[in-house]
Structure 1
């Protein structure tokens, strides 16, 4: 079997049905072979950032390892932001990057470069294949490593001449990988059961592992308040549950303040706390007893000391822990009712504040977020990359169905459009609404072309405030010269104003403008009827106007 044939055979055997890419000369052996491989669809993107973002969304929605094809050093460089996002969000993908012909690499030919060095900081592993007979083994290892907890991207650099060799290579059989069973949870359960004010932090590992119901069982047996980890990437606990207290903000000082009200914390599937802006001191208050569970042993005690650390398959471990807790907390039901009443009051206040902001034009960000949340049909997936409006959206979203919310904690802008396309491709039975900041959308705008090309019925809601509002807000909090003078350098997207209707038409996508919260709500409500992509422009107030 020739190397290129082995590559395609392994891809099939690993469950690959789509290859996301943007081709160049080093990909010509692959593109030629795909002509005779109709079972492998090549999903074309116009820029590698969109390509990797589509693969990220597809991997999450399909729960399979995505496969990506990138072109030489330039393509890898363009895809680095997407790899960083996938690494942080633990999305499994194998990236096959075409390297220049080995026969003249020593001459520094055009397009060549250190692909492994470029990709290493943003991948679990990056390796370049030097011999055709190594390719099948390297690919098998790459797929295994990409899916092994903690999941993430793996890059394999393949010189183009290697794929064209006439060498006969053998394809090794796929090795199934299973995680260890649940650790003994009795002592951990006893500590949690003795707590008077327990708290649970639901990390994104819970949602990725399909362990939401198991974590609910633990929380209910404890009667514990539950927070999402800062800037959670998905639904790790039902946001309509009486115990749900919201998301922890990405600031150590605020996290420490919230957790100081509790005597024991149970942290499940959470990669540290990943703060955003620096605040002095740790995230965990002194004296807080911690029980931590994770599939990755490296997470246990990574940034803070724990009393008990449990590793193993998350659903099994959480279910075993729930079993140990059964009946140990006699007032759990009373705690649930008490916390439920408090959380319901907080949610009512957030709803009232959002509704009070209706009527303004441009829309108040709170009203725009509430309109989106109110219009979502049941089962809709929200793919969110709207930095300031996104925070307000989290306050009013009530989503209990796993997989209903998709975000990237990676922070690389331009992810949202491609991720929404991949999400709908990976799970075509669920409507998708992508909520985007105008600045974020501009980083990945070319992804709209792929949405039009493949007629992916996603509603792209662009929250248009004509600025990088989060930067202005941050400067205001710092009290620097910008806040003092009300002047901000390099943070305005107007003039000239961005014409989102024309941008949509450039890529062959229909667009509408929602000037009120009611119009935005109705536009979002129509997502189930879409048979093609739609861009919805939602003008919102800028810095210094609204909340």
Structure 2
């Protein structure tokens, strides 16, 4: 990777300030979008956006929407976006979705405004240890406390987010560096190509095991669930002793249109661990050894038997090439993807349940849609039908931090405005970042939101039962209940600028869903479920 000067696109280098220089460097390096929630210390940066039209500023009214949108944007486009947040407290509001983004291996450039560099020592009211906040969710944290430091920090940050296999970069930018003279040419940081390698010896071991009739599980990470990789994985479906499974929460996965149906690995230790032990070999393809989502007595944290696992390739490495090479070595014929049996929207009755809602959504899913899933209420039944739906991409909550679904859907719509985005969202988790609806309205996002409104934290109720807890007191039971008062999602959505309607039957959901698909504008459906 190199960082080289480039000519300024708006006046001479001597006529620019630090914020303009940083933005021009980002633009010259390929960054085009900044999801922003600025405050006073970022006003020079906001003014600088006026001079750099190559970077599109997008306002969100909550920082967690900025970070979640940048995550969704990267997952669909493969290009980093910028976020702009206000000091430590503003950045802290973005951390939950940066946690998800880090787990998704998304690359984001966070610009965090800071007090005047000379003012920090006075410990003003908004002063905080920004680095300590940023470090757990960043691959690197840099600070530009001088113009020379700003140049170094910007180059290092851009290098991080543009390097394949890189991560989140957080750049602390004092106000005086934003507005100070920057008499140097903007940088253009170019990513160096990286060889996507895999372990050839591991493939030889797997090929031998398969020929010997051993039971082999191909455990696929997100980057092995692309269309190219799955087309190669389909070649193994002719073998009775080989199974395919995907990691529990892939950052992005492709489905439908004849691609092989890939079940997701259970996040429950008591299900996932015994399942892995059925196999003689577990091939980790662009994946790491699975870890239980939560600890469970009697089960290891790292699931399966390490002695049976073979690391074929690391995440975001050479999974597709490895699958192709292994299939070739076994003499497997090229895959001929079948025409899947379509999902039928018929004879469902009028009772609106999670299952009937998922069937309607899958049956009419547009070709090349993007499905953003947060919550199992609609997510689990939809995923069971995904392989029979039209070809589509799915993004899910990778890190377990609630509030990703709506911002990620918004960011995905910015990345691919020509593709319909369908957000399958549970009501409890939607409340964490409902502000994303405002951004969708403002930007005219091509998003249909379906809220599974069952008026409760269903996943927690299920976990209470699974772990043998039976609540008796009504005030304790109410901790898992959202019905008193019930959120009026139609009114809330409309107040944030997104048209909305409620569905209580399958015919109402079908009518509203088809109408929403037909327009290139945001729409929310509150699906009231039992």
Please list the CA deviations of residues 290-347 of structure 1 after superposition, one character each: whole Å capped at 9, or x if unmatched.
Answer: 2223345xxxxxxxxxxxxxxx8425xx4255235425267x89xx99xx9xxx9xx9
What is aligned with 1:54?
69
What is aligned with 2:431?
442
Matches within 5 A, 1:63-462: 63-183=78-198, 185-186=200-201, 188-195=203-210, 196=213, 197-207=215-225, 211-213=228-230, 215-216=232-233, 219=236, 224-235=242-253, 240-241=258-259, 244-279=261-296, 280-282=298-300, 284-286=303-305, 289-295=308-314, 313-314=317-318, 318-319=320-321, 322-326=324-328, 328=330, 358-360=349-351, 363-398=352-387, 404-462=393-451
Secondary structure class of the residue paired with 2:471: helix
What is aligned with 2:498?
509
Alpha-carbon distance between aligned partners in 2 of 1:402 and 1:239, rounded to the nearest angstrom = 5
**Contact 1:207–1:402 at 8 Å: present in 2 too?**
no
**What TM-score, normalized to structure 1?**
0.84
Secondary structure class of the residue paired with 2:119: helix
Distance change (3 Å), C-alpha of 1:278 and 1:237 = farther
Q: How far 1:226 moved relative to its partner?
A: 0.9
Secondary structure class of the residue paired with 1:281: coil
Alpha-carbon distance between aligned partners in 1 of 2:262 and 2:39, rounded to the nearest angstrom = 49
Q: How far 1:188 moved relative to its partner?
A: 2.1
Distance change (3 Å), C-alpha of 1:217 and 1:143 = farther
Distance change (3 Å), C-alpha of 1:286 and 1:507 = closer
Secondary structure class of the residue paired with 1:370: helix
**Contact 2:369–2:392 at 8 Å: present in 1 too?**
no
**Contact 1:129–1:159 at 8 Å: present in 2 too?**
yes
**Contact 1:263–1:288 at 8 Å: present in 2 too?**
no
Q: How many correspondences in the alignment? A: 507
Counterpart selection for 1:27 from 9, 33, 42: 42
**What TM-score, normalized to structure 2?**
0.87
Q: How far 1:438 moved relative to its partner?
A: 0.5
**Contact 1:179–1:313 at 8 Å: present in 2 too?**
no
What's the RMSD between the two structures over aligned residues?
3.1
Alpha-carbon distance between aligned partners in 1 of 2:197 and 2:427, rounded to the nearest angstrom = 45
Please list the CA deviations of residues 486-535 of structure 1 after superposition, one character each: whole Å capped at 9, or x if unmatched.
Answer: 96141211221111111012112211112222332343334442132111
Alpha-carbon distance between aligned partners in 1 of 2:417 and 2:325, rounded to the nearest angstrom = 36
Q: How far 1:11 moved relative to its partner?
A: 1.1
**Contact 1:93–1:143 at 8 Å: present in 2 too?**
no
Distance change (3 Å), C-alpha of 1:275 and 1:218 = farther
> What runs of 5+ residues in structure 2 fail to find an aligned partner?
1-12
Q: How far 1:357 moved relative to its partner?
A: 7.3
> What runs of 5+ residues in structure 1 fail to find an aligned partner?
297-311, 542-547
Distance change (3 Å), C-alpha of 1:291 and 1:215 = farther
Please list the CA deviations of residues 239-293 of structure 1 after superposition, one character each: whole Å capped at 9, or x if unmatched.
Answer: 9545x35111102331222223322222112244242232332354448632223
What is aligned with 1:15?
30
